[in-house]
Amino acid sequence: MTLTEKILFQHAIGWQKDHVQAGDLLSISVDWTMASELAWNGMNQTYTALGRPPLYNRDRFYLALDHTVDPVTLANDPRTQRLVHLSRTFAQEAQLRYFFDANETIMHTEFYRQLVRPGEVVLGADSHSSSHGGMGAFAIGLGGADIAIAMVLGKSWILVPEAIRVHYRNRLPFGLTGKDVILKTLGTLGRNTVAMERTVEYTADHPEDFTTDFRFTIANMTAEFGGLNGIFAPDARTAEAMHRRVQAEFREGGYWFRADEDARYVDRFDIELSTLSPQIAKPFSPDNVVSIEDVTGQKLDGCFIGACTTTQEELVLGALVLEAGFKRGWQPEESGKRLVIPGSKEVRLNLEKAGLLTFYELAGFRIGEPGCSMCLGIASDRAEPDEVWLTSQNRNFHNRMGKGSLAWLASGPVVAASAFHMQITDPRPLLAEIDQDKWRRISGAGEPLPEVVISEPVRAAGEEAADESAAVSSDSGSIVQGRVQRFGDNVDTDAMIPGEFCHLSDLKEIGEKAFYHVRPDFVERVRAGEDILVAGEGWGSGSSREHAAWALKGAGVKAIIAKSFAYIHKRNLVN
């Protein structure tokens, strides 16, 4: 079995076989469910429809307020205040143990650093829940209805996915990051292609070189790759990170599995690391990737280092790049906008203790509070129309950082080097001048790694599997009629419903905002009878937002026909 198959086998309820394989439909126990205030807006409706029953385990639902809650927006925007009130009220009602209020952490940051363990099943109401595969968990994003039900029942269902393996050859030059590696992977293999709806198991010649922060970024952007989940086998690096945790109960435990030597992968791919240069993704797709040499000198209006994909490791490297620039006598140009967002209060405190935040301040960066910030472009921090931003976030779709924005993706060190002269700058000359002893002291690199014991899954005792013959079939005689609106490939949920409207809860209001920026006449055309949508590959990729499905229903769409559907959105459409 693959690593993902072993985890699903371990969690399968009432499964009678001695293995699982791609295509098996399972009922699975769930270790964690998680959400943000933006997702809870919709989940609250589902939870109310269920009668607001007790949670299966209130200590295993994690709620963090991060999407819309920068201090300015929280103080002035009634929409954000409503979302925050809903979440705070529920946290008190359910007596949640793991509730993180506004500006404490980005949703995935502290969950990854402090709580998730290898081999656990994590379902999150956010597409970047895939991040936690960096710790060896099976972690996927789903829509809010699926998460609300799993939160109450402690279980969900899954169709065991096909798997691909991406293997990283040789060693990476110093200072290149997980962001460079996943961008290279996207640029080489393509978005929503070989990974579409599959598990992506990442392996390497030298996995000991990959810190858990490094793995986090790659697993995080498996969402952009198109994968259902991304996962690294847990090892000594995983144990090392767990041993640093605050709570003793999360320093151990989990399921430490490995894929079998004869595990079935539908395809295998190799990516060479030794010759890799910093990678840049140009607008408007994360796989529109070039090497930095091809775009050096590109003028910038803004530089942003932050969002869930940007780890403490990248923030540290970015600061050390700035320090090296100052030692060269470089000074930041007065023009340009610069913002850095540490992922959590703890990360910010660590940077302060190491004396690194000072370099961001000297370079003209405003240091913001933990949150999604410009990556979502719906709070007070957003790009203006036609502004070009270099950003360490994970998505560069149309309007992602604000209406009319132009987002170029890069690693934290690349953004830092580029912030001096507000043009894309190769950081490698500065990386070569970093005091690597200082880097090792700050990052903890070079310490002895603990030993780990690998185990095998055990079929769990539990309730009987559901009788598949009892499934209710739909009326095969019904006919849907209408005229067609055509779309191309990879139509993402940001296009279907911009993030700025995800605070809405009335179906008709949501429907009015469908394709608001990219096809302003969409609703009018639906009302005129063009209510069947026909599209190419990857319909519904990107965010897990249920609002995308609601927007289509609210607008009056009768049916969607596409060559392929993104997994989360497909489940949302069914729900």
pLDDT of residue 463: 55
267-320: per-residue pLDDT in tens?
999 999 999 999 999 999 999 999 999 999 999 999 999 999 999 999 999 999
The type of residue at 449 is L
Q: What is the pLDDT, as a whole number, of residue 405?
A: 93
Give me the pLDDT at residue 224, please.
Answer: 95
Interacting residues of 309 by C-beta distance below 8 A, sequence separation 6+: 128, 131, 179, 216, 217, 220, 221, 392, 393, 394
- Contact assessment for residue 542 and residue 516, using Cβ atoms and an 8 Å cutoff: no
How far from each other are the two terminal CA atoms of the chain, in whole angstroms? 30
**Model-level pTM?**
0.91
Q: What is the DSSP letter of 200?
A: E
Q: What is the pLDDT of residue 451?
A: 85
Residue 462's pLDDT is 54
Contact between residue 41 and residue 503 where contact means Cβ atoms under 8 Å apart:
yes
Specify whether the CB–CB gap between 257 and 456 falls below 8 A. Answer: yes
CA distance 218 to 237: 15
Residue 565: DSSP 8-state: B
The top-level CATH class assigned to 279-443 is alpha beta
Sheet holding 61-64, edge to edge: 98-100, 61-64, 32-36, 121-124, 138-141
- Look-up of token digits 């927007």: 551
284: preceding bond cis by omega (within 30 degrees): yes
Q: Alpha carbon of 143 to those of 88, 249, 540: distances in Å? A: 21, 29, 12
DSSP per residue over 419-465, as a string?
TTTTB----HHHHTTS-HHHHHHHHTTTSPPPP-------PPP-SPP
CA dist list (Å): 278 to 50, 87, 360: 49, 40, 21
Q: From the CA atom positions of the chain, what is the Rg in Å?
A: 23
Q: Please give the CATH architecture assigned to the domain spanning 3-272.
A: 2-Layer Sandwich (3.30)
What residue segments make up the domains of the chain, in order of their start? 3-272, 279-443, 484-574
Place of tokens 């009302």: 527
CA dihedral 100, 343, 213, 405 (to 10 degrees): 120
Residue that the structure tokens 């302060």 belong to: 352
| pLDDT value, residue 492 | 87
Pairing mode, strands 32-36 and 121-124: parallel
Question: Strand 289-291 to strand 279-281: parallel, antiparallel, or no bridges (unpaired)?
Answer: antiparallel
Model pLDDT, residue 461: 57
Q: Running DSSP on this structure, what letter comes out for residue 539?
A: B
Pairwise CA distance, residues 276 & 270, whole Å: 13
Instruction: Say if residues 85 and 41 touch (Cβ distance below 8 Å).
Output: no
Distance (Å) of CA 434 to CA 415, 428, 490: 16, 10, 40
Which residue stretches of the chain have pLDDT < 70? 446, 461-477
CA-CA distance, 458 to 11, in Å (whole number)? 9
pLDDT confidence of residue 469: 42
Instruction: Please state, in angstroms and as integers, the Cα–Cα distance from residue 249 to each residue in 98, 117, 253, 428, following that order.
Output: 14, 10, 8, 41
User: Which residues, 6 or more positions from 480, have their beta carbon under 8 angstroms from its beta carbon?
Assistant: 532, 558, 559
Q: Do 484-574 and 279-443 have the same topology in CATH?
A: no
Burial of residue 9 (CB within 10 Å: 0-12, 13-18, 19+) is: buried
Tell me, letter by letter, the H, E, C secondary structure of 253-309. CCCCCCCCCCCCCCEEEEEECCCCCCEEECCCCCCCEEEHHHCCCCECCEEEECCCC
User: Class of the 484-574 domain?
Assistant: alpha beta
